[in-house]
Amino acid sequence: MIELKSYLHGEWVSPQTTALLVSPTTEEAIARVSADRPSLQTALDFGRKVGGPALRSLSFEQRGAMLKVLSKAIHTHREELIELSLTTGGTTRSDGKFDIDGASGTMAYYAALGTKMGATNSIVEPSEQLTQDPRFHGQHAWLPRHGVALHVNAFNFPAWGMGGKLAVALLAGVPVITKPATSTCPLAFRIAEILIATGVMPRGAFQFVAGSAGDLVDQLGPQDLLAFTGSADTAAKLRSAKSVVSRSTRVNIEADSLNSAVLAEGVSAGDDVYRTFLRDVVKEMTQKTGQKCTATRRIFVPRAMMEQVIEDLSAELSRIKVGNPANEEVRMGPLATKQQQTDFLAGLETLKASGAKVAFQHALSLVDVPAGKGFFVPPTLLRADDAGSANAVHTHEVFGPSATVCAYDSTDECIALVERGEGGLVCTIYGEDREVLRTLLLGIAPFHGRVLVVSAKVADKTIQPGLVLPSCVHGGPGRAGGGEELGGERGLRFYMQRTALQGDRALLDRFFEASKS
Ligand code: NAP
């Protein structure tokens, strides 16, 4: 059985006391993980004093070269990692690839960005004359903060969550302490081993905590950063941490989201756009067993299309084979933990109590699973014919393979219903009519971090809504946490301090010559 160690101040550290992790498919014990709540002050100091200066002495180009090696290392171990994801996380091969390729792909993207940013280590904005004197200018410069970035990640993307955040922080020149979720830590732990074994990261640039984050959040200081991904409840706790409230530790929160798929008025069954809509909804409901922050939870359709949409989605969902992800026929595995299984079933009851009705529920004859074992749940489609009064549909995230089809009577009503989610990561609009698409887009965009518009010309070329690309921002207002990650160079700025510099233009220009070329 694997013992999950932490990597602190340049060495692997075994836990004092341990708890067992079990396979979500068979419930057999698979790993031992720390049950301690350690004091990690020395790890913070090590990152700040040893890792920070070493990283800041490198240019973007050099940090990019480092990321290239890290990305390749993950890719080289791809098969082993997919297998590990399958056995310890209960993901299908395809779901495991999605996570692992997400990590190596994001790292490769930021490696290339580093090369493009060149032999400098600051970002400089254009300068502006401040007084009558043309010599006296002001300009904004971004320099890496002198603290440590604490990355706290959710259970559902042990590879991508860790690799994506790490790539951005390292390229910005800030050392990282990463803390994956405990339940799916085995995959993150193996990736940490692989990354460290490359030997390309300076000492102190990367530390890894298996198990509790201990006192790390409380110990963060004014130059440190906290990038959190997880539930709204934990986010609320971390926002009120002493470090955040009293020392202004900078925080980025990526929380939950009731993502929407909107079928615009004017689309008919049989249109290419309609086919893409069905394909996407089924994928977003069932990929990673619906445990994606970007998974579709609410499906808005014109009332006249309700029955057709439910019939077509039900037919697609009934074909999904659920069971042991090691079996090649299986398209959907279990949830990651027993608690999540309990929460999913309770969540469905909450939606039903609020007025939603079950429109389809998968029969769940499990493939290749020991009798009575595993944290499986049935893909479930709900319907809300009076979507305005089904409050929980717009406020309660059921984190598994479930979504609710909501009827609307006008485009304006649809926009108002989408807004009831109080801020989301992604909304996808499927439509043919340009004016309808424009009205939906302008109404919905301010409430989301990302809006994907699927019109006839791109219906067969579009990406799936749940795919987070490193070139576009990820995050969203309100319920989604109010944060923003990735987005190419934009993502680096979270880890850097913007300072307004005022003085002799020629002198300032000379300081930052390389940044401007
Ligand atoms: P969670 O229970 O909030 O845990 C998230 C992380 O926080 C885990 O690493 C957890 O560690 C850690 N944590 C919990 N309490 C902490 C504390 N007091 N101090 C420091 N760290 C603490 O969330 P989850 O169940 O892993 O993830 C599911 C949720 O994440 C869903 O709501 C989903 O929508 C959201 N999510 C959002 C995004 C996004 O990008 N917006 C992406 C993925 C998931 P332990 O595991 O050790 O408890």
Q: Residue 513: what pLDDT? A: 76
State whether the beta carbon of 154 lies less than 6 angstroms from ligand 1. Answer: yes
State whether the beta carbon of 237 lies less than 6 angstroms from ligand 1. Answer: yes
Q: How far is the CA of 106 from the centre of ligand 1 (A)?
A: 21
Is 406 part of the annotated catalytic residue set? no
Non-local (6+) Cβ contacts of 117 within 8 A are: 60, 61, 64, 123, 489
Pairing assessment for the beta strands 402-408 and 424-430 based on DSSP bridges: unpaired
Is 254 part of the annotated catalytic residue set? yes
Q: Residue 455: what pLDDT? A: 95
pTM of the model: 0.94
Superfamily of domain 40-256+482-514: Aldehyde Dehydrogenase; Chain A, domain 1 (3.40.605.10)
Q: Which atom of ligand 1 lies nearest, measured to the CA of 257?
A: 34
Which residue has the CA at smallest separation from atom 32 of ligand 1? 231
Name 33's bridge partners.
Answer: 19
Q: Residue 1: what pLDDT? A: 82
> Residue holding tokens 């944060």?
483
Domain map (residue ranges) of the chain:
40-256+482-514, 259-470
What parts of the chain have a pLDDT lower than 70?
Answer: 514-517
CA torsion angle 145 150 156 162 (round to 10) = 60
Non-local (6+) Cβ contacts of 333 within 8 A are: 24, 25, 90, 91, 92, 95, 289, 322, 323, 324, 325, 376
Q: Residue 517: what pLDDT? A: 45
What tens digit of pLDDT does each residue of 371-393 get? 889 999 999 999 999 999 999 99
Which DSSP category does 191 fall into? Answer: H
Q: Residue 364: what pLDDT? A: 87
Superfamily of domain 259-470: Aldehyde Dehydrogenase; Chain A, domain 2 (3.40.309.10)
315, two tokens: 């037919």
